[in-house]
Amino acid sequence: MWESMPEGGAYWDKELLRMQKLKGQRALVTGASSGIGKAIAIEMARAGADVVVNYLYGDDVANAVADEIRGHGVRAIAHRADVSREADVVPMFERMEAELGGIDILVNNAGLQKDADFHDMTMEQWNTVIGVNLTGQFLCSREAIRAFRRQGLRPEISKALGKIVCISSVHEVIPWAGHVNYAASKGGVMLMMKSIAQEYASMRIRCNSICPGAIRTPINQGAWETEESYNALMKLVPYKRIGEPDDISKAAVWLASDDSDYVTGASIFVDGGMLLYPGFENGG
């Protein structure tokens, strides 16, 4: 019966409002021109949020993501900035305030890998990964909290003063030989997130992390693009499928919405059970 009701009916309007959990809110997603960041930016638009698409390379690709977001009836800005540079981050937040009126949601997604055996790792490899993956999250989180405090609570929009979602990794817990800089950056994200959550909970600012496992993105294409590599990867994933960017984007919308209003300081692992020590599933 409900399926036959025309658009504009009471049920349809109620369902649309239920789906648009972020209506009237403004979100900044870093590293949003591809992969997990793109999926999160688009899912937040579907949920009703205006979105700033941060990116570093590929103007055409970022603008295409912004165009897709506008197709959901919300505002979108594509803004190029290196999140590891304070001189780039501060103007990005100033532009967001000038054009969208402020910020309600920050998703710290920008990240990269520069892998090497530890004894061969260069300062450039170390500093680049720590700079983007950890310092970038620090700079963006600091500017977001400054903005949240300036703006004040908008109870008709959200129960929280502001929401920060940090994209971490299962490697905030699992050591990763050959990727020491990456694992160290994600371990740092974990305690930074929890410390921010502790410091600002009384102001109704929530800060949480999503920790992906194996997700089908360009950054790890070598781990899933062939049948042989995919089958090897599945030995680490009890759920026996690779994760998709939408698995992460749906969790991000939940953490940014009032549905998770009592959740702060949490690492949410979206990993198909990778943290369940699959090597022991048959008794070790």
The residue behind tokens 């050591």 is: 175
The answer to whether 182 is a known catalytic residue is yes
For 245, the enclosing helix (H) or strand (E) is: helix 245-256
Give 245: exposed, middle or buried? Use CB within 10 Å, 0-12, 13-18, 19+: buried
Element (H, E) at 190: helix 180-200
Catalytic residue of the set 57, 182, 200, 230:
182
Q: Taking each helix axis as running N to C, give the angle between helix 35-46 and helix 245-256, from 0 to 180 degrees, rounded to the nearest 10.
A: 50
Do residues 208 and 263 lie in contact, with contact meaning Cβ atoms separated by under 8 Å?
yes
Q: Could you tell me the CA-to-CA distances from 46 to 19, 21, 281 in Å, in that order?
A: 8, 9, 39
Give the residue numbers annotated as catalytic, written as ranges.
Answer: 182
